[in-house]
Amino acid sequence: MPVTVRTFATYSEAAAVLSSDRAARYLGGGTLVMRALNEGDISISTVVRASDHILKRIEATGPRVTIGAGVTFAQILSHRDLAFLHAAARSIGGPAVRNMGTVGGNLFAPNPYGDFTVALLALDATVAAQGGLGARDMPIEEFLQSRERQAGQLVLSISCQRPASPDAFRYRKVTRIRPKGGSVITIAAHLPMSGGRVVGARIALGSMAATQIRAKAAERALEGRPLDASTIAAAAAAAVEGASPANNALGSSWYRREIVGVHLRRLLSGQE
Amino acid sequence: MSKTALQFRHNGREVAIFVDGGTNLLVALRELIGDMTPKFGCGQGTCGTCSVLIDGELHLACLTLAETAAGHAVETLDGLKHGPDLHPLQRAFAENFAAQCGYCTPGMLMAAKALLDRNPSPTRADVVEAISGNICRCTGYEPIINAVLDAASGGRARA
């Protein structure tokens, strides 16, 4: 069924339409919205776009990194200053999907997708969005918890603190086939160290609940401790706490519960 | 519902069409322009057989809103050959038995072209990565990977 396509020069015009029309959906890279249209999703009657260059901007020179919602994974991969996000960006789709899919769209990608968002969740990212009541910044965790209600907002950018060292941020997407496959489990770990101890640990999981979640029990097991074998074992044992894993063709809920600790242990101990 | 006028370059030739709102580029190419080389596989971005180049970048035509192609250069498999002469990639695919049922072949060739245009001497791992978004259910991929490596080296790699 044909839909109305509305393209605006500025993000604020696009945001105004999104917030006032329930059947309007913002089109980023197309990997979610065009797919829905191809499947005959009748809940979408208007497709909104914005050609605003602000949505494509990357600010990555300082300790805090801001990425426009319309930035593609290919653009992240070609940006040297975003090396800490390259593993997560490379794990998305094949080359065509990386040329199309955007950072902002990934926030809305349901299981088994949304791997990049797992990395952003472990980095305590902030989501800047424009809604009917104006612009606001929201912690990514809060954004994800209320994701169903965020469709009327236009995400403008995502920002996060750059990890102190390459080793302080780790990412792993467990798939059945390589190099490309849907996520069985996706894990990101931010492990800031201070005086040989982990301070402010963040563990984020994909495919372990309806949206990406933090493994807070595992974070507590790491907090204030050196990253040694016994700490890692305790975190791995706690990884499944609070999870309600996806049950799909890529893996059963039971299987995900069984292996999440194994892969977290490997990630934390630096094993392949 | 009104139609939108749309103009873009299709394999080097300027084309102008009218599309319904929400029409994807694959439908525009096949049904409005008559270029049947990009195929419809899944409509979800999973299979890759609708792959085309937009300004030299690999894109999935089925997930591209047709009107976003306005003013851009779209290349499909149909643009690869010159008259009766096959493109070196097409020749390498034929020589390596890289096409069996052939349904994935248009997408494979475009993904391979996107790779070779940027990296004329790829490693095997580069080729595997480049075609990772394209599903083949016949060949087991090996003949395809060999064909791309062959085309890259002008046939020297496995001579």
Of A4, A29, A38, the CB nearest to B21: A4
CB within 8 Å: A35 and B64: no
Q: Domain A1-162, what fold? A: 3.30.465
Same-domain status, B44 and B108:
no
Contact residues, chain B, for A5 at CB < 8 Å:
4, 21-22, 65, 67
Give the domain CATH number at B105: 1.10.150.120
Report phi then psi at B138, rounded to 5: -105, -55
CB within 8 Å: B133 and A96: yes
Same-domain status, B62 and B96:
no
Same-domain status, B42 and B97:
no
Dihedral, CA of residue B42, residue B59, residue B130 and residue A267, to nearest 10: -80
B157 is a domain residue: no
Best B68, B118, B123 member to test A by mutation, with max A CBs in 10 Å, is B68
Question: Is the CB of B134 inside 8 Å of chain A's CB atoms?
Answer: yes
Question: Which of the listed residues B55, B76, B97 is the one where a domain comes to its end?
Answer: B76
Question: Which of the listed residues B76, B101, B123 is the one where a domain comes to its end?
Answer: B76
B123 is a domain residue: yes
Instruction: Give the global pTM.
Output: 0.96
Same-domain status, B16 and B64:
yes
**In the 8-state DSSP scheme, what is residue A66?**
E
In whole angstroms, give the CA distance from residue B66 to residue B7: 10
A64: alpha, beta or left, given left = phi > 0 and alpha = psi -120 to 50? beta
- The sign of the dihedral angle between the CA atoms of A80, A85, A86, A89 is negative
Indicate the average pLDDT of chain A: 96
Question: Which of the listed residues B76, B98, B125 is the one where a domain comes to its end?
Answer: B76
Give how far B20 is from chain A: nearest CA, Å: 6
ipTM: 0.95
CB within 8 Å: B129 and A39: no
Could you tell me the CA-to-CA distances from A49 to A124, A125, A244, B7, B66 in Å, in that order? Answer: 28, 24, 35, 18, 13
B158 is a domain residue: no
Of B24, B60, B65, the CB nearest to A96: B60
Three-state DSSP class for A143? helix
Same-domain status, B121 and B144:
yes
Same-domain status, B13 and B37:
yes
Mean pLDDT of all residues in A223-230: 98
Joined tokens for residue A41: 């999703």
Q: B36 is in which domain, residue-wise?
A: 4-76
Same-domain status, B67 and B113:
no
Same-domain status, B43 and B101:
no
Same-domain status, B9 and B68:
yes
Same-domain status, B68 and B112:
no
Report phi then psi at A180, rounded to 5: -120, 135
Amino acid (1-letter code) at residue A234: A
pLDDT at B82: 84
- The per-residue pLDDT for range A78-97, each reduced to its tens digit, is 999 999 999 999 999 999 99
Domain boundaries, chain A: 1-162, 166-268
- The per-residue pLDDT for range B14-72, each reduced to its tens digit, is 999 999 999 999 999 999 999 999 999 999 999 999 999 999 999 999 999 999 999 99
| Stretch (H or E) spanning A105 | helix A103-106
Best B20, B25, B58 member to test A by mutation, with max A CBs in 10 Å, is B58
CB within 8 Å: B21 and A31: no
Give the domain CATH number at B15: 3.10.20.30
Same-domain status, B44 and B96:
no
Total domains, chain B:
2
CATH 3.30.390.50 fits A166-268, yes or no: yes
Report phi then psi at A55, rounded to 5: -70, -10
